């Protein structure tokens, strides 16, 4: 098993001071997003089903992931794995798993991300959580590892949605597909499991319908 190594002593003190200073500098530079930015990523954002022919390059996807990877996860576990389906051949393979009504939505998007997760994420913890060996929390507890991977991998998929919107792309999440077929087609022989799909592109808004209702605060929230 990998040896757990982490900064210690003066090096650790310096790194912590640097991190704390960076957060203070960020807060001094920007204390909140303006209303227009909030509208873009959540308040006025929509899930999209049709797409323009405007492409997205592999370099753009790399920039997008560089944002997503910084989202927090439990113990910095980062269990999500992203397969960005972009080629026509790969899209045809993915279409085998989709319900008929979702095939056109996927084929029209320049990128469809398969958000997957690795239940054996804990094997990589020495890299991601180097100051303490936490592998023993999961190595003989497969149900706990699965639960942790699924929850945190889902979080990372949500970070991808929000980051894409923040970068000016449109998104449409999909769950109308067979996870079993996706796993057989793309993850056979690995420990990875698919969670959900996310179409990413520049939308054709003519396919939109009216926004559906949402709960009011008092319907689903309370104070204790």
Q: For residues 59, 198, 144 and 178, what is the CA-based torsion angle, rounded to 10 degrees?
A: -130
Q: What is the pLDDT of residue 4?
A: 61
Collect all residues with Cβ–Cβ distance below 8 Å to 222 and sequence separation of at least 6: none
Range 36-206 has CATH code 3.40.109.10:
yes
pLDDT, position 8:
86
Residue pLDDT tens, the chain, 224 long: 455 678 888 888 999 999 999 999 999 999 999 999 999 999 999 999 999 999 999 999 999 999 999 999 999 999 999 999 999 999 999 999 999 999 999 999 999 999 999 999 999 999 999 989 999 999 999 999 999 999 999 999 999 999 999 999 999 999 999 999 999 999 999 999 999 999 999 999 999 999 999 999 999 999 99
Write down the pLDDT at residue 84.
98
Pairing of strands 111-117, 80-85: antiparallel
Locate the domains of the chain by residue range. 36-206
Residue 154 and residue 71 in contact, taking contact as beta carbons nearer than 8 Å = no
Q: pTM of the prediction?
A: 0.94
Count the residues in the chain: 224
Task: Report pLDDT for 5.
Answer: 73
Buried b (16+ CB within 10 A) or exposed e, 169-181: bbbbbbeebebee
Mention every residue, 6+ apart, whose C-beta is less than 8 A from residue 12. Answer: 6
Count CA within 13 A, CB hemisphere, residue 169: 25
Q: Which residues pair with 112 in a beta bridge?
A: 85, 199
């Amino acid at each position: 098993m990998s040896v757990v190594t982490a900064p210690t002593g003066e090096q650790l003190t310096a790194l912590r001071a640097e991190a704390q200073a960076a957060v203070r500098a960020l807060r001094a530079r920007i204390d909140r997003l303006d209303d227009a930015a909030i509208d873009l990523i959540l308040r006025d954002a929509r899930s999209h089903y049709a797409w323009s022919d405007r492409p997205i390059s592999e370099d753009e996807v790399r920039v997008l992931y560089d944002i997503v990877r910084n989202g927090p996860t439990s113990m910095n576990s980062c269990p999500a794995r992203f397969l960005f389906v972009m080629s026509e051949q790969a899209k045809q393979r993915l279409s085998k798993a989709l319900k008929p009504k979702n095939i056109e939505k996927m084929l029209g998007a320049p990128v469809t991300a398969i958000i997957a997760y690795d239940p054996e994420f804990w094997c990589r913890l020495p890299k991601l959580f180097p100051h303490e060996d936490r592998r023993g929390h999961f190595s003989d507890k497969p149900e706990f590892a699965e639960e942790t991977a699924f929850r945190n991998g889902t979080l990372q998929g949500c970070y991808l949605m929000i980051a894409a919107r923040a970068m000016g792309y449109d998104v449409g999440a999909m769950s109308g597909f067979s996870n079993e077929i996706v796993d057989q087609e793309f993850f056979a022989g690995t420990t990875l499991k698919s969670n959900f799909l996310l179409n990413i592109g520049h939308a054709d808004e003519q396919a939109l319908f009216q926004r559906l209702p949402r709960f009011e605060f008092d319907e689903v929230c309370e104070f204790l």
